[in-house]
Chains A and B, each alone.
Chain A
């Protein structure tokens, strides 16, 4: 912990500390010349020595990453056209990918927001003309008489007017019949959710 603190302190004072190190090494060289007659060459490469001493405090890879980022920024400033095209391409691609993954995750990967999503089933009617749905009357009948299902909800696709009407009918049924009995019909919470209606707090649990 103390070591990290010392490192941070060095970073904060790196300018002054580098200058001190340079002064210290100058002193060393001057003393060598004065007493041993050895020049700077005999002591080795001063710049290399300074860099090595500095790398003790600042991890070389941190400095290298910083230099790479600066190099990248300078390159982008030199070629603004390329930078703009790259930015637009990257941001739009990332945006599209994020949207697709989010949508796929919400539709396919996340469980339905109900208490027991594994028990939710989708019902269709198989007729001569293929797979079809139910009329409102059939839905009401099933909702009232079904013993194996704890609750039903109807959805519609296509014409917005029909969809609205269907939702209105089904929604009022959910509010009137299913929500008051939410203890028994746990699925009614999902019904209210799917209908875009918020169930009262005490009934939603």
Chain B
């Protein structure tokens, strides 16, 4: 009460979009994705395992990412996620939808 919130809840469906966006730059493991989201959002988006891994499984199920085991930066066995061509198309489509939605929300907030 009265304290600034350290992290914000994501809008439904936006986590998938953000993961796709992070993976569009490079292949990453789960921790790397969570770390990148936190870093890029300046600690606003802190994604826990209970949100991140179901989202990654959802992306795998839809065929938007593929997963392969490899060695991490500290030489541990880790699972790396890569965006598929279908995932790239999905990212473009979701990005566009999100932009439209944000624009609509902003219009309402400014005028209503």
Contacts and interface: CB of A to CB of B under 8 A. Distances in A.
The 4 closest A-B pairs by CB, nearest first: A49-B50, A56-B57, A53-B53, A31-B31
A35 B62 CA distance: 32
Nearest to B59: A56
Interface in A14-67: 20-21, 23-25, 27-32, 34-35, 43-46, 48-50, 52-57
Contacts of A54: 57
A32 B74 CA distance: 13
B54 A27 contact: no
B44 interface: no
Given A31-B31, A49-B48, 11 more contacts: A6-B60, A6-B61, A10-B61, A20-B69, A24-B79, A25-B49, A27-B30, A27-B76, A27-B79, A45-B50, A49-B49
Interface residues of B, number: 25
16 contacts: A3-B61, A6-B60, A6-B61, A25-B30, A25-B53, A27-B29, A27-B78, A28-B30, A28-B52, A29-B49, A30-B76, A31-B31, A34-B74, A35-B35, A54-B57, A57-B61
Interface of A: 2-3, 6-7, 10, 20-21, 23-25, 27-32, 34-35, 43-46, 48-50, 52-57
B85 interface: no
A52 B54 contact: yes
A27 B72 contact: yes
A57 B30 contact: no
Interface in B24-72: 29-31, 34-35, 48-50, 52-54, 56-58, 60-63, 69, 72
Contact of A44 (B30, B49, B60): B49
Nearest to A55: B54
Contact of A21 (B48, B53, B58): B53
Contacts of A25: 30, 49, 53
A27 B58 contact: no
B30 A24 contact: yes
A2 B78 CA distance: 26
B48 A44 contact: yes
Contacts of B79: 20, 23-24, 27
